[in-house]
Each structure stands twice: as structure tokens, then as C-alpha cells.
Amino acid sequence: SIYEMFGNECCLSTGEVIKVIGFKINKLIASICENNEVSRFSAKVELPLNFPGLYKVVADKTPYVSIEEITKKVSIGPTRFGHPCFYSPEDIKLANLTIKHGEQITFNSVEEVNGMLAVNCGVVRNNQSHSFTLPLSQEGKFYECEDDQIYTLKEIAEWKIPKCRNRIVKLSNTLQTWDSSNPLPENFDGCLVLTPVYEVQAVMKFRKDIVHILSDLDVEVKDITDCYDISSFLQPLSLEDVFERTSKEFPMVAEIMEGPSGSRKPYNLLHTGKEIVIYKKYQATRVLASEIRSDSPKRHFLIPLSYKGKFKRRPREFPTAYDLEIARSEKEQLHVVATKAFESPHKELFSVSVGDQFLVQQCQSSEVLYEGRKKVIDVLACEQILSDTYKKVLLPMYMEGGFVEVVHDKKQYQLSEICKEFRLPFNVKVSVRDLSVEEDVLAAVPGLRFEEEITDSYLMISSIGSPVESWEIPVYRLNMCVHLLSKDIQTVVPPATKTTVEEISEEQYYMVRRYENQTLHPPPRPPKKPT
């Protein structure tokens, strides 16, 4: 059979032995959904996995009838996506624990327990986690729990579409301006039914790359697994697979079977067939930064602490008095100018006019008269700067005003100094570019907002042929496949490591942020009428 693969004709000869290593969703067929049913008038549209947008998964209302069915149809794995949650409408009585009906059960992993396969599960009660196992033979009705996370289409395809089932998703954020090439209706914010189209991933005896075969290819095959030495085939590993290896197995030599796309170093060096040394796996800190601009889209970056450029401060903006309380520090007094007027509903608290200047002091409690009754609320103590004196005032913490920082500090800072001395978020501009790299992508950005420090997973690699320098590559943001080689490593100590500023997409930005600590929200404003 001759078929086309990525624009090239490929041949599957009679008698050729193929090792199937996986099934992967190649694309998605989407239909607009109304009341959890496909609309009769809805045309089917084809969506590539990189179609922009963020989506919420709608819980499947069809129950699973056993734990074994869940393990066969639902992705359960070690990554943060691989922990699905279910509930049972009936109590489940175990030897030392009873799982109550409706209680959320998290499925963590599938392991062998006393010679039988079982699922490691957990429930949370009163902020305490309780672990237990459920055998695959456990029967009953198990329903999916509601999921409040957001996902890209690619993540949904890899982790959130059960085998032999469709998936309903709700569009959460489009992340792009609609145009005529968009297959979805303009201003669409409803639900879609996603039907996966699969491809078979395989390796062939005399090829060093992964072959992708469409599932509807008209070719007859025979299962010869039991009578063939499958160890003679290459074993492809994703970066996640490599990262799951024990630290003792590093360093290792590998050949790239599928390389990533990208024109910047090191991605442009990681092409198919290249041999690399993977020295170690580790967690590293990055500062998540976004371009300061009023319009969209903004650029986003992950900056290593080893970045050698310098920064000068830029004024921060604060929408509420609560944000002033979060931003203030013992190191220096926060000086702000009001950009929006605010009329206080309490005579004990200060009314703000545009242009008023304040030095922020501290949070405290204050008694106010509210509808004839005394009420204690949180307030922010400040000093208003007048022409020749200071006046002590109290601002309600819920105050929805607007403030801009007055920056007196002209010092230039290294990134590590900013993280040590100031609270994030923090606004800066590059004042001295990083001279250790050919192109400093941050230098051309007019302003940056350092949002938070994150911890991410990396592998340290170098070229085996000329190991002049080593590189850090992200495990979860790089699509790359390798197979291990049994070659001796000339040097166990990696050469000088190049850490680069990584520019990430809007989707990746949201993915990174959602797993970090949630930003605190200001306390609600007291109601105007008692409830």
C-alpha cells in the first residue's frame, strides 16, 4: 500500500513488520452543541490540535460501570493532567474506609497490589488526604466530577477524551481576534462536541523515525506480537518518559526521532537524527513576565535567574486599596498618585480626588457607622501628601479606585536582586541588555511586568559531536521524541550551560499560571442594604 505522509508518498510492503507504539488523536471534528446535544443544523468543522483557545471540559453524564472500564478508557498517568476525578452515587465500603456517595475520588496511578492490578486513589476530608486502592474488579456506577480547570485543545486531545467516547467542551477564552478563516461562528462562546480522528504511531525495522499512519488507511495487518522479537525495534521516548527515569540512569546518549519546531537556539539544533547527551533532570526556577501594553496580544516570557541583563523600575498600577496593601513592604514606603476619584460612603473614611498623593502605611481595623449601626471593617492607613504637611487618612480596603506608583529609585537591578528584595508583581524595563547572548529578546520590549516565580521541569543536554555548551530544555513545552543509544559518554560533567529566555504562547502562559498560587482577591465591599 502506498499512502501519503506529511506530503510524501510512503510504502508499506507486503510482509513488512511494524511495531505499533501508540494511538494519537490527529485532529478533532467539532459540532456545535445545544443542551448537551448536537444541533441538527450544526455543520461539522475540522479543528487542528493547535487551534487557539482555552476550553473547559463538560463532565460526561454517562457513567462507567467498573474501575476496569475507567482504566481502559481514561488517561491516568504521572503528569498533572493524569489525575481524573469520579464519584459514586452509592457508598463504597472498603476494609478501613468508607467512601461516601457523591464524594470526589481522585485516580492517581495504576499499580500492581498483591499480584492484582488496582488504582491508587485519594479523597480529601477536612483538608486531610486519605489514600486507598480500588481493584479493577470493583463494579458500580462512576460518574465524572465537574472540572473547573481550563485546557488547550491539544491537552484535551491527549488527556481528556476517553476512548470510544466523544467530549463536550465549553469555550472559555478565544485568545485571538475572529476572522473569516475561523471555522467557528463569530462571537461563539458555547459548547462543542469533539469527535477524535486517530492516527497510529509505529516504528519500522529500518527507519529511525516514528511513522504516523492514519487510522482509516485501507491495509490488512496481522498480529504477530507473540511470535516476534519486539526488542529488535527502537523504543521511542518522549521528554516526559525520559524525565521519569531515575537520576541514577543519567547521563545517557540519545538520538532524536522527532525534533521540535523553532528557529531559535537550541530548538534549531535539535533535528531528526541528531545524537545528544542528556546529562541530568532537575527542577529550575523561572520568572514569568509579560509585556506591559494596553492592547492585546501581549508577549510572555520565562526568564532564568541567571539572566545577565539589568533592569530599572517602572511605575506599577493598582486598581484597589487592597492591592496597595499587598504591594507595600518594610524596605521602602510606597508612594502613589490617585488616577480615579472615589466618594466614601462613610464620613469616618477619606474620599479620594484625582491627583491626590499618598504614602501607604499599614492595614488596620476601623469602626464605621453603617445604616445606623456600628460596623468594623478593614481599612488602609495612609498619609496624604499636602503642599507643606502630611495628613493621616483611612481608605476602605474594598475601594475601587486607581493608583499609579511614584518611583524614586533610579538603581539598576539584577533579576535575582528583584526577586529577593521586592514582592511580585513588579514592573521594569531592560536598562542593560544581556551581552552573553547574540540577541536579547527582552531588550526590545518597552516594559515588563514580572508576575511570579515558577518552578518547572528541565533536562540538560548537549550535542555529542561537539559538546562546547549544554542547554536546558523544558520537559512539558517541547514536543520531541528520542531513543536511547548504548554509547559511552566521553565526559560525565556537562560543559558550560546556556540558559535562555523562553518566549511562550498565550495558551502556554495560561497553562503555567493556573498551576501556581491563585492571586488573592480584595475583600467584598459592604452591601448597601442589609441581606
CATH number of the domain within which 69 lies: 2.30.30
Amino acid, res. 319: P
Closest CA to 55 of 479, 521, 507: 507
Closest CA to 327 of 257, 418, 398, 405: 405
434 is a domain residue: yes
User: CA-to-CA distance for 435 and 307, rounded, in angstroms?
Assistant: 10
> Do 110 and 93 share a structural domain?
yes
Q: Read off the DSSP letter of residue 39.
A: -
pLDDT tens digits, one per residue of 46-82 = 888 888 788 899 999 999 999 999 999 998 877 777 8
Helix (H, G, I), strand (E, B), or coil: what is residue 518?
coil
Q: What would the DSSP string read from start to end of 66-113?
A: EHHHHHHHS---SSTT---EEE-SS-EE-SS-EEPTT--EEEEEEEEE
For residue 313, give every residue at least 6 positions away whose Cβ sits within 8 Å of its Cβ, in sequence order, or none.
407, 409, 411, 413, 426, 427, 428
> What is the number of domains present in the chain?
4
C-alpha cell at 467: 559538546
175 Rama class: left (phi>0) / alpha (psi -120 to 50) / beta: left
410 is a domain residue: no
> Do 141 and 218 share a structural domain?
no
> Do 70 and 136 share a structural domain?
yes
154 is a domain residue: yes
Using the 3D structure, point to which of 233, 260, 282 is the last residue of a domain.
233
pLDDT tens digits, one per residue of 131-141 = 999 999 999 99
Instruction: Say yes or no to pLDDT of 164 above 60.
Output: yes
> Do 458 and 486 share a structural domain?
yes
CATH of the domain at 369: 2.30.30.40
> Do 439 and 514 share a structural domain?
yes
Looking at residue 469, what is its pLDDT?
A: 82
411 is a domain residue: no
Give me the phi and psi of 131, to 5 degrees please.
-100, 150
List 125's β-bridge partners, or say none: 128
Looking at residue 11, what is its pLDDT?
A: 67
Instruction: Say yes or no to pLDDT of 145 above 90.
Output: yes
283 is a domain residue: yes
> Do 274 and 297 share a structural domain?
yes
> Do 514 and 369 share a structural domain?
no
> Do 430 and 496 share a structural domain?
yes
Give me the phi and psi of 226, to 5 degrees please.
-75, -15
> Do 67 and 52 share a structural domain?
no
Domain that holds residue 496: 236-309+417-530
For residue 139, give every residue at least 6 positions away whose Cβ sits within 8 Å of its Cβ, in sequence order, or none.
65, 66, 67
> Do 180 and 168 share a structural domain?
yes
Using the 3D structure, point to which of 112, 145, 178 is the last residue of a domain.
145
State mean pLDDT over 476-484.
88
Instruction: Say yes or no to pLDDT of 480 above 70.
Output: yes
69 is a domain residue: yes
286 is a domain residue: yes
> Do 290 and 251 share a structural domain?
yes
Q: Are 43 and 193 in contact (CB under 8 A)?
A: no
Using the 3D structure, point to which of 181, 210, 233 is the last residue of a domain.
233
Locate all alpha helices (DSSP H) within 107-263, ordered by sequence.
153-155, 239-243
412 is a domain residue: no
User: CA-to-CA distance for 36 and 13, rounded, in angstroms?
Assistant: 45
> Do 325 and 292 share a structural domain?
no
State mean pLDDT over 201-210.
74
Residue 518: pLDDT band with limits 50, 70, 90: very low
pLDDT tens digits, one per residue of 339-398 = 998 888 888 888 889 999 999 998 888 888 777 788 888 888 999 999 889 999 998 887
